[in-house]
Structure 1
Amino acid sequence: MRVTKLVGILGLSVLGVGCASTGPMSSNEKWHNFDSTNTVALEELTAEQSMVVFIRKPEAVKGSAVNIFVGGEYLTSLQEGGYKVIPLCAAPTNLTAAFTDINLNYPSVREQNNTFDLSQSRIHYFSVTQVENGQPILKALTAQQAKLAMKNTREQVNTLPRVEKNRGCSKVIYQQVHTSQPVIEKYTLAASALFVYSKFGSADVLQKGRDEIAAIANEIKKDETQIGHIAVIGYTDPMGSDAFNQQLSLKRAETVRALMVSHGLSKQKILVEGRGEQDLVVQDCESRFATNKEARNECNEPNRRVEIVTHGLQVQ
């Protein structure tokens, strides 16, 4: 299934193509900074993608070019009056920004926790703003705010992104795991012991979670000949959008599978599934603690989990 999206930016000024020198590095070396078009182009998105637009308004942020990172990968260096458009997977995604600076610790910048929910079938706009410590941050905008922010801007085209524009996106899986094989054992891991809050990558797994997964993997290996398959199923609490929760639960399950494989289990034997906010352990947290976010968050703790279920060989 393919979904066509048109991002129309009304009222933009038609600006010419600009060039800028590289300053003290070379007075002769120049690069092509901007595309001359004044609208964001028509894009075809898959059902698993969203359109994302990064904007740096003229004179909004003082400083050098602003580097934009998507999931730790370099996308572009925005100059004043520049914007960048890219289709990304509709999933929880880490987006960070930093001024160009040879002395900056870029690995640290890329690892900052700035996760945004890029829901499916939507266009997401982000504006570069400056904070007190002097470094830029990304602020989500509404479509109306983006329309105003993009006045007198042009698309930035002077750098080569490392973000794959047409990378494959994980599909939300509802029923990959079948239950026709008898359950041998079920292990339930609390998400708070596994991951940094709202994160899902292998670098975000806490040491306690790593130890638990290692112990489970070693226990499973003892009876591996009796196991038909292993199901790793991720769950979230009901806070946030359905799309965010489904993708977050799936990605966490995929990370747990990768760690189990690193401990010697066969990847082919491990199925993953993201169930999001389905099958809640505690269902009334919202009604019980509607005005108390901290208590509601604590109440939802059992819902945020990853289950590892071992199934026996097929019954004949």
Structure 2
Amino acid sequence: MSLPSRKQTAALLSVALLASPVLAAPAGTVPGKVFDAAYVSVPPIGDDQAQVVYYRLQAGVQRQGSAHVYVDREFHTGLLPGGYSTFCLAPGSHTLGAYLDDTPDYKGKRSDLYQASLQGGKTYYLRVREDGNTFPQPVKREEAERELVTSRMQAHTLSRAASIEACRHYDYLVDESRFKHYELSSDVLFAFGKSASDDISAQGRKAVRELIDELQRDDAQIRHVQVVGHTDPIGDEAKNQHLGQLRANTLRELLIAGGIPDSVISAASAGNREPVVFSCYGNRVQQIACYAPNRRVVVKVELGRPVEK
């Protein structure tokens, strides 16, 4: 058998590359993954950076395609309905904007976008407008976090914006004396696999009542209450994510019914991504019992002033 010529080898290589499924994906995309983790409140940022949370509502969508977000005239991400992106920039003047129906001209690379002067140490919440206006809609934190409770991190594109920096969240900037933490066992609140208010046991209702009493003592100081549902790893990951959200939503509704203002409470799910117990063995009944500490609802309360010791 004769060996192929150099020209034939090059031709065969070209055919192979064109047929490659890796190259079939559009440039700048991440194959197989559209959304990642559910939104959880972002921590404070240092004075040497400004933090931006850019998001798109699930409701009121007029165009189903991506809203292409540009930072300093460079593509950052394509927000789908219900998606969000968090990024940091050096303090100073930056151009920001989101374009719907942006292809194939990619107007955001050359059009005049919204120019903002971002201050160090601040977090800005920006919402995509659905009316064709490319300027972001600034939103107050309380309103934004209510709208973000069902949002997922946009993961299907890669940022090409050179001015974006990895966020540096300095631990010493977080004044933990302003926070109270509560952890309720899901097995106290709900039966295994359950999430509705009617599923809560008498012991669970007593625990919720005690939590409400505690929160009401701090009512004048409360700035934000974050409810996060956690599950064990048994079963499908997507279903666990949904179950954690349903449980968090139920507890949020009970807190509101107990007199805590709905404007300060957000609910989110961590699914099975933050386990307390990592490996359990045995039959299903034994695993359910072993993984019980993972099934919990965590409540983090931010107060306007330090907690008195």
On whether the aligned pair clears a TM of 0.5, the verdict is no
Question: Which TM-score band applies after superposition, normalised by the shorter structure?
Answer: 0.3 to 0.5
The structure whose residues are more often helix, as a share, is 2
Q: TM-score, normalised by structure 1?
A: 0.41
